[in-house]
Structure 1
Amino acid sequence: MVKEQVTVLNALDVTKTQWYHFTAIVIAGMGFFTDAYDLFCISLVTKLLGRIYYTKEGAPTPGILPPNVSAAVNGVVFCSTLVGQLFFGLLGDKLGRKKVYGVTLLIMVFYSIASGLSFGHNPEGVMATLCFFRFWLDFGIGSNYPLSATIMSEYASKRTRDAFIAAVFAMQGFGILVGGIVTLIISSAFKHKYKAPPYSVNPKESLVPEANYIWRMILMFGAILAALTYYWRIKMPETVRYTALVVKNLNQATMDMSKVLQVDLNKITSQNDHKVIEKRSVDQQDQNLFQKDIFSKIGWIPPAKTMSVTGEIYKIARAQTLIALCGIVPGYWFTVFFIDILGQFTIQLMGFFVMTVFMFGLAIPYHHWTLPVNRIGFVVTYSLTFFFANFGPNATTFIVPVEIFPARLRSTCHGISTAAGKAGAIVRAFGFLYASQSNNPTERDPGYPAGVVPEPKGKSLEELSGENEDEDEVGGKAKAQSNSITTSRTVPL
């Protein structure tokens, strides 16, 4: 690394927090907002689709999507997101973060609208076009994992980098929350306008006349806020680190940095010690996807046959919004506030441990929780599993990959890492669907190899990735990694 590059990048590492950083959090986070909104809403939409298209008298499970259709509608989310993570992660390193970033947002906007316009001459046709449009929607959403994390990490200072990346990821919580609010508003409007009878009275009459429009409105709303950020996303300059380290254009990197940040290029930082933490890919989306089924099993939500279609959607949305408000959103922001204080190792280990305790607490005395008097306790405990997933491994494993890989591979490797988490979600999602259709659930969690990576708190990206190893050749201080490691811990899985 030449001396001029060291000066520019170290000046970036010590820059004070500025308004642009918060703007970048919102712009980069809108992809995660759309991702969470889409995932939240599809679980509600599948309820509507079953009531609208699969209500047949005498059917074994009238008003419910057939298992193969449900698997296709839900499973396409994870599969397409995984492909998008790998594809756009690679493109982000080949073409640059900025060039790919604007295109992916247009994909998300277009296919959010297209999903709401799904068409067909029969139920199977509607489901097929919905799955097609959702594949491309989530393909675009997958780009946000490697690109948003990489862009935020390469613009933040080393003092606040972890918190800023966590804040980008925390936009998922707001997406879930807004999804619940939008669904509540739409379903409430139709619920009060039309007094449809319960499904058990007459399946046909339980549908309000505009039921076919409700799910389309919910899906298409996700495009609005994403579209509003398009202008700001394409106006973002290429990251300084990509331009300086990959493109090797130091003058352009300096100009781009001066456009958005006020930095002192004469400031050069020093290096601290290293610690070792565990890295493991985590994805909690399979929990979000099947919340509605869990709530029904414990009796928190009445049986579907006792409600009209809008009443059912309203109560499910209300329950999921409560979980988001009390568990998911606070968990994300606890990570934002404490990650630069506690460090990733502490938060990740704590999250895994507490989640394990609460999940055993839910699973072992399961029949105890199904009693009406104990349902509030179940909801509180269930909310805490989400809290510690986000104030824990769900957030930390999103941050780690952008900090330990060099700039030329950062986006690609982050895409691979998050895709590993998505693969686990795929196994869990289809396993859950299989188990729900049989009396012999035999799903098994996939194992992930343990890795040893440095604790990134307070260190520059170049220190963590090893890109400053040749700094001593141009007069910089030699920093042998073997001498800088003062504390190390290996956590086996």
Structure 2
Amino acid sequence: MALKVLSALDTARTQWYHFKAIIIAGMGLFSDAYDLFCIPPILRFLGRIYYQKPHLPFDNNDDNFVIRRHVDSVLLGVAFLGTVIGQLVFGRLGDRIGRRRVYGLSLMVMVLSALGCGFSICTSRSCVLVSLGFFRFLLGVGIGGDYPLSATIMSEFANKRTRGSFIAAVFSMQGFGILASSIVTMVVCGIFNAASHPNPKEKTPTEADVAWRLILMLGAIPAAMTYYWRMMMPETARYTALVELNVQQATKDMEKVLDVSLSPIAEDESLTLPQDPPSYPLFSKQFLRLHGRDLFGCSVVRKRQPNFFYSSNLFQSQVYRKYLGNKYNANVYKDAIHVALLQTIVAICSTIPGYWFTVYFIDRIGRRKIQMMGFMVLYGLTFFFANFGPNTTTFIVPTELFPARFRSTCHGISGATGKVGAIIGAVGFGWASHGQTEHPKAIKILLVILGGVCLLGLAVTYFFTPETNGRSLEENEE
């Protein structure tokens, strides 16, 4: 028989606290996206300031081209590498010592490392890039930790009827983070451009070295603003009752969340433990027998999806470069504005609507169908159907398939394999985009490969991903 407090969570009406939890958890994803997707215009600044000639910013024949290609790839890949580590470490800690206890820690790592990215301790080229790479790695660790914790906490607070929509709403904040990073970049660059009136034929102004640092540091503000509220959140009832085995404390915590009196959800005094709590450890034979197929499906699909989502988002300015003509020959501020403007258009027209279509349809259509549909769509609608599809569903499904004591860990493992795919996609796309002069068909070939990745993701979803819609977390576990 299910615990009353968990049944009360599953059947609770939608309340203010649910929306509050969406905002608190979602601001972490907002900051994640801001910090990850502000890097394309930042690379324009770094290239103009430390490598490229002002009037030939994309001349692949200059002496520094090969070095720049390595730098771009490292600055993109190092954040994703940190994300892999953060998802594994914080995901496991979330199951071992509690979601709430490590939730604030991941946020503080994000805040401090975002500030560190802007404060880079020196101005010489090598020192700045090494410092920036170090803090980007730490930033990735914090970002990685936020993914499994935000998803798990929201899934364990939500009711059964709208759980998918609530988790998708948390994840949708990523789209607004992408939009915010582009808008902030355009505003900062517009202010600096108006103040300096640079000449494209002159050397990049020294003030540009302040502009990119400011853009990075502003990403710490939304995360810092939600730290207090994260610390005020109670531990989830499912963790307290099913992992810590303290049913009475879970009931007291949920009384505040559900806005009901204690008596309707209070358990019998003699009941202090869930019946027959599982005893098998992580990665044991019993775990693999019960959950190995689900973990494989979540991990493989999560690895395939970021290959095209992150690489396409981070390098969309390269994909559409030939349509932008000589705008890339503008001064450094206008150059960054053009990149940010393209990101803004794509975010408003495709990315954000894709997220919110998922919020609306996820509990109506189901996770599995949306995920398969997203993998079937051509590149032209990638940013819409990546989010109204596998980019969001792969964030939701791992929180619904696994037992409470493994939920955060397994979400972290699934997410970490996803970021491995992001590293492969982003670094590979970076090399292809920089090599267009030598190999004009490089991006076309890579896009065909990404299409093959989508087909593989579709197949894995069909054969290995069960539908979790309409059932409680405990029912999905069974």
TM over 0.5: yes
Checking the alignment, whether the CA contact within 8 Å between 1:190 and 1:208 is kept in structure 2 is no
Structure 2 partner of 1:332: 355
Matches within 5 A, 1:290-439: 290-296=315-321, 298-300=322-324, 302-304=326-328, 306-354=329-377, 358-359=378-379, 381=380, 384-436=381-433, 437=435, 439=439
- Contact 2:79–2:138 (Cα < 8 Å) also in 1: no
After superposition, give the CA deviation of every residue in 1:426-482 in whole Å (9 maximum; x if it has no partner): 11122223323353857656667565343111100000012xxxxxxxxxxxxxxxx
1:286 shift after superposition? 1.8
Deviations, residues 363-382 of structure 1 (Å, cap 9, x unaligned)? xxxxxxxxxxxxxxxxxx3x
Other structure's SS at 2:190 match: helix
Counterpart for residue 30 of structure 2: 33
Q: Residue by residue, what CA displacement relative to the aligned partner does 1:377-421 show, whole Å, maximum 9, x if unpaired?
A: xxxx3xx22001100111111111010000010000001111121
Determine if contact 2:100/2:235 at 8 Å carries over to the other structure: yes
Q: Quote how far apart the aligned CAs of 1:56 are.
A: 5.4
- Structure 1, unaligned runs of 5 or more: 269-275, 360-380, 467-493
Spell out, residue by residue over 1:255-310, the C-alpha distance to the aligned partner (whole angstroms, 9 max, x if none): 11012212587589xxxxxxx997521222222111222232x3225352x20111
Which residues in structure 2 correspond to 1:14-93 (within 5 Å)? 14-55=11-52, 60-61=61-62, 66-93=68-95
The answer to whether residue 466 in structure 2 is matched with residue 459 in structure 1 is no
Residue identity opposite 2:242 in structure 1: L
What's 1:142 paired with?
144
Q: Say whether the 8 Å CA contact 2:251–2:265 is kept in structure 1.
A: no
Q: Give the alignment's TM-score, normalised by structure 1.
A: 0.81
CA contact (8 A) 1:109 1:224 kept: yes
Q: Which residue of 1 aligns with 2:135?
A: 133
In structure 2, runs of 5+ residues without a counterpart are 267-292
CA contact (8 A) 1:75 1:429 kept: yes
- 2:64 and 2:149 map into 1 onto residues whose CA distance is 40
> What whole-Å deviation, never above 9, does each CA across 1:325-375 have from its counterpart, x for those lacking one?
111011101100111111112211221112xxx22xxxxxxxxxxxxxxxx
Measured after TM superposition, the shift of residue 69 of structure 1 is: 1.1
- What is the Cα deviation at residue 193 of structure 1? 2.3
**Cα deviation code 1:105-125 (max 9, x no counterpart):** 111111111100113352011
The answer (yes or no) to whether the contact 1:15–1:263 under 8 Å persists in 2 is no
In structure 2, how many angstroms separate the alpha carbons of the residues matched to 1:166 and 1:50? Answer: 36
The answer to whether the 8 A contact 2:31-2:219 is kept is: yes
Summarize the Cα distance change of 1:453–1:294 in structure 2 as closer, same or farther, 3 Å threshold.
closer
Return the alpha-carbon distance in structure 1 between the equivalents of residues 211 and 181 of structure 2: 13
| 1:261-272 correspondence to structure 2 within 5 Å | 261-263=258-260, 266=264
User: 1:301 touches 1:316 (CA, 8 Å); kept in 2?
Assistant: no
Asked if structure 2 preserves the Cα contact closer than 8 Å seen for 1:339 and 1:347, the reply is yes
Aligned length: 423
Q: Indicate if the aligned counterparts of 1:52 and 1:63 stay in contact, CA closer than 8 A.
A: no
Scaled by the length of structure 2, the TM-score of the pair is 0.84
The correspondence for 1:157, drawn from 151, 156, 159, is: 159
8 A contact 1:404–1:453 mirrored in 2: no
Deviations 1:7-31 (A, max 9, x none): 2211110000011111111111111
**Is 1:253 aligned to residue 277 of structure 2?**
no
Aligned match of 2:232 in 229, 232, 235? Answer: 235
d(CA) in 2 for partners of 1:293, 1:120: 30
Would the alpha carbon gap of residues 209 and 128 (structure 1) be closer, same or farther in structure 2, given more than 3 Å must change?
A: closer
Q: Distance in 1 between matches of 2:37 and 2:240?
A: 37
Please tell me whether the aligned partners of residues 310 and 425 of structure 2 are also in contact (alpha carbons under 8 angstroms). no
CA distance in 2, matches of 1:316, 1:454: 39
> What percent of counterpart residues are identical?
50
Measure, in 1, the Cα distance between the counterparts of 2:382 and 2:165: 21
Give me the whole-angstrom Cα distance separating, in 2, the residues matched to 1:42 and 1:62: 23
Measure, in 2, the Cα distance between the counterparts of 1:328 and 1:107.
Answer: 27
Does structure 1 conserve the Cα–Cα contact (< 8 Å) formed by 2:327 and 2:338? no
2:9 is the counterpart of 1:12: yes
What letter is aligned with 1:316?
V
Say if 2:198 and 2:205, in contact at 8 Å, map to a contact too.
Answer: yes
Q: Which amino acid aligns with 1:456?
A: T
Judge which range, 287-296 or 48-57, deviates more.
48-57
The AA in structure 1 aligned to 2:43 is T
Alpha-carbon contact 2:172-2:352 (below 8 Å) kept: yes
Q: Does 1:286 align with 2:298?
A: no
For the 8 Å contact 1:11–1:263, the answer to whether it is kept is no
Distance change (3 Å), C-alpha of 1:434 and 1:20: same
1:158–1:459: 8 Å Cα contact kept in structure 2? yes
Structure 1 residue 62 displacement after superposition: 7.5
1:214 matched to which residue of 2?
211
1:107–1:301 distance in 2 versus 1, CA, 3 Å: farther
Kept after mapping to 1: 8 A contact 2:26/2:170:
yes
Task: Give the letter for the 1:250 counterpart.
Answer: V
Taking a change above 3 Å as real, the CA distance of residues 55 and 431 of structure 1, as seen in their structure-2 partners, is: closer
Q: How far apart, CA to CA, are the structure 1 residues paired with 2:138 and 2:125?
A: 21
Q: Is the contact made by 2:400 and 2:473 (CA closer than 8 Å) also made in structure 1? A: yes
Distance 2:248 2:175 in 1: 39
In structure 2, the CA distance between the partners of 1:458 and 1:429, relative to structure 1 (3 Å rule), is same
Q: Does the residue aligned with 2:109 lie in a helix, a strand or coil?
A: helix
